[in-house]
Chain A
Amino acid sequence: MILLSGNVRRKVRNLLPGFLIPLLILAVWYFLHDKTLLPAPGLVFDVLSHPSRDLLSCGSLFWNTGVSLIRVLLGLFIAILLGTPLGFMMGASERFRRFTSVITELARPLSPIALLPLSIIIFKDTSFTEILGLNHLKYTRNILNELQVGMVFILAWGGVFPVILETMHGVRGVRKVYIEAARVLGAGRLFIFRHILLPAALPDIFAGYRMAVGRCWMVIIAAEMLPGTNSGIGYLLRYSYQLSRLDVMLACIFVIALIGLIFSRGLEFAGDKWLLLRARER
């Protein structure tokens, strides 16, 4: 018997009931798959357990997942880089907010997917290889070739609004008494920004990042299913549909769900552990 500390054992015991329904689904699938179009669970498991094997001649599961992840991270990076200072200014300055509120309110509900055709027209299939001037790499299998500017643009679009709005919300929500206390205790504007506004708004800013990650992950899957690329997990998913390879399709769906879960849980954990702990009692 494996000896586990009481804490770990309790956690495992709490998790167990949650696995009942997935197991039930798995069982139904296993016993009934030959009456449907679905492949046997074993076939899907086979795809998942060989992640570096080439699939449908468009790269391995690893490669395609990696391509999608790097696209998302790049888009997210840009969204954060632009959105955080913008949101901060909108939160801190009434005048700046008045100037920008209409445009953000109009642009926010516009689905990034709706911009994909336009971004393909504008950016064509320009990839980061060309932008960085590495043309000799253009016909090799290289991650830079897969990072199309248009794709990154719509990801940044999808991610930037949650970042802007949550940051603005966070900055506006900083209790006035903290700012006043800092002022009467002799703090200047920059000091207040660094030591009061930033830490007090941090939980909201971080919540914005979390929302942005989730949105970008949804956007990339949909975007990859549309023309404009021939790599990524979304592309693999659509291609498996064209070839009626349901084993690959189900494996893709599983990976997409898993990564979505890792994103949201991982960030939640990181935030609680390193960022929000102190600010929680506001």
Chain B
Amino acid sequence: MYLSLSHLEKSYKDPSGNNLKVLGPINLSVETGEFLCLLGPTGCGKTTLLRILSRLEQADGGKINMGSGRLGYVFQQGALFPWMSVESNVIFPLKASGTAGGECRSRAEEMLNQVGLYEFRKNFPHELSGGMQQRTALARGLVTEPELLLLDEPFASLDTRTGISLQEMLRNLCGRLSTTVIFVTHNIEEAVFLADRIVVMGHRPGKIVRDEILDMKWPRNRLSSSFTEILLSFRRTFEKLVDPLTSSLTEGKESEL
């Protein structure tokens, strides 16, 4: 087991000073090498959970037990450093952890080859397409061969086709490195395609409403009947999640279902 959370909680203060509970309590354990998709509607606290795991934020309560190994993180919009070339962006985490210059270069080169961006290593992020930017971000997240890779809706801003090809690329890369992955998304199909295990989170406060290991071989075929079946079952779970903001609108619909 790589990671376990017990009774993890997080609240924010809203503008009028009231405590707004956004997360928890969450109980979750993740096995080493597992590819876990954290699936939930926008605003359910998935990102907050990821930020707590990466120590960008502190939980208010509960316990986190996790390995102390290297961490990779891929942000929603890449968050590439615009004043650095693609290569420098990928080298960044290596340099930050004190890897020697020559080794940085060769490892970055290898990583860039794997995401097919070697020819673009001297380009700057704004010169690349959205898909290429996210490939750079993946390379940057994986170049240190992290034990745990956290991804926060990395493909949400891409068109479907680019997204699909990046999903395949990610899965291959992570398989090769046997990294433990937590992938946050609100896209059900993406989760069903990628994950070994899907954890669905509900709304405010974010809680786990379904946790399931997918019984599907890899590579997966999006058109197969088992794929669509699983997809539908998660879609049903998703629709039952009541968003407090829109609950009045969906009430009528729900009774029809």
Contacts and interface: CB of A to CB of B under 8 A. Distances in A.
Interface of A: 177-178, 180-188, 191, 195-196, 199-200, 202, 278-279, 281-282
Contact of A282 (B70, B75, B79, B82): B82
Contact of B79 (A177, A278, A281): A177
B207 interface: no
Given A184-B73, A199-B83, A281 B96 contact: no
A282 B81 CA distance: 9
B56 A182 contact: no
Contact of B75 (A177, A188, A202, A278): A177
B92 A182 contact: yes
A153 B252 CA distance: 75
Interface of B: 54-56, 70-73, 75, 77, 79, 81-84, 92-93, 95-97, 124-126, 140-141, 144, 150
Contact of B92 (A188, A195, A202): A195
Given A186-B70, A200-B83, A281 B126 contact: yes
Residue from B71, B83, B144 having most chain A Cβ neighbours under 10 A: B83
21 contacts: A180-B56, A180-B75, A180-B79, A181-B79, A181-B81, A184-B54, A184-B55, A184-B56, A184-B73, A184-B150, A185-B71, A185-B73, A187-B96, A196-B81, A199-B84, A200-B81, A200-B83, A278-B82, A278-B84, A279-B83, A282-B82
A174 to B, nearest CB: 11
Contacts of B82: 278-279, 281-282
Nearest to A187: B96
B93 A185 contact: yes
B92 A281 contact: no
Given A182-B96, A184-B56, 15 more contacts: A182-B92, A183-B56, A184-B54, A184-B55, A185-B93, A185-B96, A186-B70, A186-B144, A187-B96, A195-B96, A199-B83, A202-B83, A278-B82, A278-B83, A279-B82
A278 B141 CA distance: 22
B148 to A, nearest CB: 11
A178 B93 contact: no
Contact of A191 (B72, B75, B96, B126): B96
Contacts of A199: 81, 83-84
Nearest to A281: B126
B71 A184 contact: yes
Pairs A-B, 9 closest by C-beta atoms: A281-B126, A187-B96, A185-B93, A184-B73, A278-B83, A181-B79, A279-B83, A184-B54, A177-B79
Contacts of A279: 82-83
A186 B55 CA distance: 11
Contacts of B95: 191, 195
Contacts of B126: 281
B79 A178 contact: yes
A81 to B, nearest CB: 24
Contacts of A181: 73, 75, 79, 81
A186 B93 contact: yes
A258 B34 CA distance: 68
A191 B84 CA distance: 15
Nearest to B127: A281
Contacts of A188: 96
Contacts of A191: 95-96
A187 B84 CA distance: 16
A183 B141 CA distance: 12
Contacts of B71: 184-186
Contacts of A184: 54-56, 71, 73, 150
A199 B81 CA distance: 10
A214 B77 CA distance: 39
Nearest to A181: B79
A186 B124 contact: no
